[in-house]
Structure 1
C-alpha cells in the first residue's frame, strides 16, 4: 500500500480505532461479555466510538453510486492491473470499500461510495478463475453530500483518478450540494477557491474539444492556463473548435500524422487561435511575438507546451501571462523572456 493511502486510511480509521493502552477494568461498567457489549453500545450512542461493520460480500450485490467520481466504464485491465496483482499477492482485498445499504432495488444490497476500482478488480478476478475472492466493504450511513466529501477525500490520496474525472465530479457537486456557491464548496472540502476554480474550468471545457483529444483523460488542470485564454474571444473560440473537429474527423478517418498526446493537441489548437489573432488589426499583429514556429500571442516550447502569452496593452507597454504550470520548464521560459526583451527592449549599443 502506498504511503498516501496509508496516511489516508490512518486518518479515516482514527475515529473507529480502539485505544491500545491497557484499560483499567475496575472502572468499566458491568462485567463479562454482556457488560462489555453494553459499554460499547453506550460509547457508540454517546459519540465516543463509531461502529462501522466490515464484511466480505459478493461484488455482484453491490452497485456503483450514480454520482461516483470515477468513470466506471473507463476501467479496464490495464488501469486496474496493479490492484489486481496486489489482491492476488495478498489473497484478498485489504483496504475496504465504503458503501451504504440500499433498499430500493432487489438486485443489490449495497451502493459503492468509494471503491469502484476495487469493485471492478474483484469482479474481474472472480470471472477469471478466482471465485474465492470476495469484496471487502465497510458499511456507513451517509447523506449524499457526506458521500461526496468522503469519496473526494479518499481519491485525493490516489494518483490513478484523473484530473478530468475529479473536475467533472466537482462541477456536479457544486450544483447538487452547494447551490452553485463555489466559496461554500471550497470551505467544505477544505481547499482554496483558486484551486477549485482550476478544476471547474477543466470540467467546463466544451465537450467537442475534450473528445477531440487523443486521450481525454490526459487533460490536466495544468493545461487550463493554455486553453482558457484561447477560448475567451468568440472568433478564437470558433477557430479552436473548428480545428478540434478537423483533428477528430481526420483521426476517425484513419489519417495519420495528427496529434498523439495532449501537448501536441494543445499546440495545434493554439496555432489555430493565433492564426485568427494575426488576421486582426495591424497594431495587434505588430505587438505579437513569434517563436519556434508558433503563432503570435502565445509562446510555446518545441514540444508545444505553452510558456507565456503576450498582449499589446498600448504602444508603450505589453502584458505578459506566464503559464508556470503549462508543462514547459523554467529554462525554456527564461529563453523566451530573453527573446522578448531583445525584441521589444533592445540593449543599448
Structure 2
C-alpha cells in the first residue's frame, strides 16, 4: 500500500472525535502490509482500519439473506454475476468458508434485514450464490462496526480503489451522490476528505452526469472508462452535440439488443465511442444541413442510408460490401423505420 494511502488511512482516525482511539494501532496494522502483499493481508489490514473508527467491534457469522447492501457503496450489486465472482467463489470453496470478513453495520427498523454491508459486496454476493448452489450452510463472515454515513463512504471508497472490477462509471456516480449527501456539493471539501486530486474528481463527476440512455449504447457500463467517458461528457455540454449523441445512442442500443438476441458479439466500446463522438458530424454536413440517416453494422460500415423523404415515401439506398447478408439488411430496415417514427417522419402519415 502506498505511503500516501497509508497516511490517509491513519487520518481516518485522527479526524474523528477527540475520544476516538489513538491512530497508533492503525499504523501498526498498516505495517503488517509491508510483510505481505497478498489480498488476504490487504483485506485484513483494511478490516483493522475499520475497527479503529469504532468503539466496539464484533465478528459474526451471518445469514446473508438478513444482510442488505448499503446504498452508499459504489458497486452495482445487480451487475454481479457468477462469472464476475468465479475466482472468489472458488477460493471460498477451497478454504472451506469465507476467510476475510466484510464490514457491516447494524440497522434498525427493517423487518427483513439486521445489517448492511459497508465493504465486502462481492463476498456477500458469493456467499449468497453458494448457499443457493449446493452449499446451504455457508455463512457470511462480517465485522460489525459503528460508522456514520460519511465515514462509511470513505471506507467503502478506499476498498473500491483497489478493485479493478469496480467500473469508473460506478465510482463516478457514487461520488456524485456522495457530493450532495455528505459534502454539501463542495468538491474541494470532498477531494480533501478523500485525498483525491480536485481535477480528477471533477472529471469523475462529469462522467457521472452522462445520461443512462447514452450509457445504454455500450454493451456494459463496465466499458465506460474515465478518459473516453470524460471526452463524451465534454461533448455533451453542447446542446446540439448532446441531441445528436442521444439520438445515435438510441440507435446503437437497439443494435446491441439485436446482437444479444442473436447471440452475436456486441459492438466494441471503441466503435460505440467513435460513433457517439462523431454523431453530429454524421448528421450535419459541411453546410450544417442534416445528413441522410445511415445504419452501420458492428464494424462501422454503412449498410443502409435514406436518400430522400417526401410525400410519396422514402427512398432508401442499400450499400454493398463483402460481408453483407440478408439478416443484416432486414435489421437495418427495422431500425430505419423506428428512426422515422421517433423523428415524426414515419410512413403512417
1:222 and 2:227 are equivalent in the alignment: yes
CA root-mean-square deviation: 2.9
Q: Which residue of 2 aligns with 1:186?
A: 191
The two structures have a TM-score, normalised by structure 2, of: 0.66
1:126 and 2:161 are equivalent in the alignment: no
Q: Which residue of 1 aligns with 2:267?
A: 260
Cα distance change, pair 240–136 in 1 and its aligned pair in 2 (3 A) = same
1:271 and 2:278 are equivalent in the alignment: yes
**Residue ranges of structure 2 left out of the alignment (5+ in a row):** 1-35, 289-298, 301-349
Q: 2:173 aligns with which of 164, 168, 171?
A: 168
Q: 1:111 aligns with which of 109, 116, 121?
A: 116
In the alignment, the residues of structure 1 paired with residue 162 and residue 255 of structure 2 have an alpha-carbon distance, to the nearest angstrom, of: 38
- Paired positions, count: 254
In the alignment, the residues of structure 1 paired with residue 233 and residue 45 of structure 2 have an alpha-carbon distance, to the nearest angstrom, of: 38
Deviation at 1:12, TM superposition (A): 4.7
In the alignment, the residues of structure 1 paired with residue 257 and residue 49 of structure 2 have an alpha-carbon distance, to the nearest angstrom, of: 51
Q: Which residue of 1 aligns with 2:48?
A: 13
Deviation at 1:80, TM superposition (A): 0.8
In the alignment, the residues of structure 2 paired with residue 123 and residue 60 of structure 1 have an alpha-carbon distance, to the nearest angstrom, of: 7
In the alignment, the residues of structure 2 paired with residue 3 and residue 140 of structure 1 have an alpha-carbon distance, to the nearest angstrom, of: 24
Deviation at 1:4, TM superposition (A): 5.9
Deviations along 1:65-112, whole A, 9 cap, x unmatched? 122221111111111111101101111111111111122123222111
In the alignment, the residues of structure 2 paired with residue 9 and residue 274 of structure 1 have an alpha-carbon distance, to the nearest angstrom, of: 52
Secondary structure class of the residue paired with 1:214:
coil
**Residue ranges of structure 1 left out of the alignment (5+ in a row):** 18-46, 282-301, 304-349
**Greater C-alpha Rg:** 1
Cα distance change, pair 133–4 in 1 and its aligned pair in 2 (3 A) = closer
Q: Which residue of 2 aligns with 1:312?
A: none
In the alignment, the residues of structure 2 paired with residue 82 and residue 187 of structure 1 have an alpha-carbon distance, to the nearest angstrom, of: 35
Q: Which residue of 2 aligns with 1:69?
A: 74
